[in-house]
Amino acid sequence: MRDKALFFVLWLIFSAICEWLASLIGPHFYFYVASVQAQEGQNAAAFILYMAVPIFVFVVMMLLFALFRFRARDDSIQPAKSQIKINKAYVGTWLGLSLVFNLFLFVHPTASAAQAYFNESMAYNKSPKTLIVDVVARQWEWRFSYPQYGLTQTVDANGNDFLELPVNTPVKFVLNSYDYNHYYDPQIDVIHSFWIPAFGMKMDVIPGETRTEYIEPTKISSTTQNQMLRVQCAEVCGPGHPYMEANMAVVSPANFAKWVAQQKKLEA
């Protein structure tokens, strides 16, 4: 009983210390957070970390406590006749709590986060304020168009494909993968993956299938200011895969309106 009490006290102390350390790490799982969805993902990851810390400490302490507390200090102690002892109550409790813990994490934050994203997507899809951006992935390029503004391909000053979004505005990305240079079949290409690291989400882009992703940017920035704010392919799609990226920017609504006007002049 004395050993159990000592173990319990030490477990509480070290768990508190490790939880404090986890609180310093948890809010910074993602290198750069620039959307509502990325913040939700970071919160979910931090929650799992906080829940796992006491279990991790318990397992490590069990190994170390048994190693030091019950070690043989001299040769007078003879090996026990039986080297295996099973505590059925302990095993049953451990399995039962493990099952409960895993089911709990499945419900929250896994299922609850999925439901929250679904609700956000439905709300964004119905909102007249949602910006629609058509994204085409091809070997090895991203192309962006804005059907609400009649823009068929947006580019920067150097003529490179460019994505620009207004801050605090819901965005619906409509994702397709095809290579229009294959005139015999416009749906011939490979699977790509649409990823903006700062937005905390990835979506596979599959030929012949239209997919959607909903994001709400929360910070004004650009690729030149932070490389986490870039469009990157995250699915190996051929020899040009490492270079399949595009610059982007998140700007104020007023600057976005000016940018749209400039793009219309380029396409006129």
What is the DSSP secondary structure assignment for residue 109, as one 8-state letter? Answer: I
pTM of the model: 0.85
* Contact by Cβ (8 Å): 167, 248: no
127's torsion region: left (phi>0), alpha (psi -120 to 50) or beta?
Answer: beta
Task: Report the CATH fold assignment for 131-267.
Answer: Immunoglobulin-like (2.60.40)
Domains in the chain: boundaries = 2-70+93-125, 131-267
* E-only strand ranges, 117-196: 131-138, 141-145, 162-166, 171-177, 192-196
Separation CA 212–CA 130 (nearest Å): 13
Angle, alpha carbons 87-92-95 (nearest 5°): 125
In the chain, how long is the greatest CA-to-CA distance? 95
Question: Could you tell me the two tokens for 32?
Answer: 């750069």
Quickly tell me which residue has 């019950």 as its tokens. 70
Q: How many CB atoms lie within 10 A of CB 101?
A: 13
What was the pLDDT predicted at 243?
A: 92
Nearest Cα neighbor of 135 from 200, 201, 211 is 211
Q: Give the Cα separation of 199 and 99 in Å (integer).
A: 33
* pLDDT string in tens for the chain (268-residue length): 788 898 999 999 999 999 999 999 888 888 899 999 999 999 999 999 999 999 999 999 999 988 888 777 776 677 777 777 788 898 999 999 999 999 999 999 989 988 999 999 999 999 999 999 999 999 889 999 999 999 999 999 899 999 999 999 999 999 999 877 665 565 667 899 999 999 999 999 998 889 999 999 999 999 999 999 999 999 998 899 999 999 999 999 999 999 999 999 988 7
CA pair distance 224, 222, nearest whole angstrom: 5
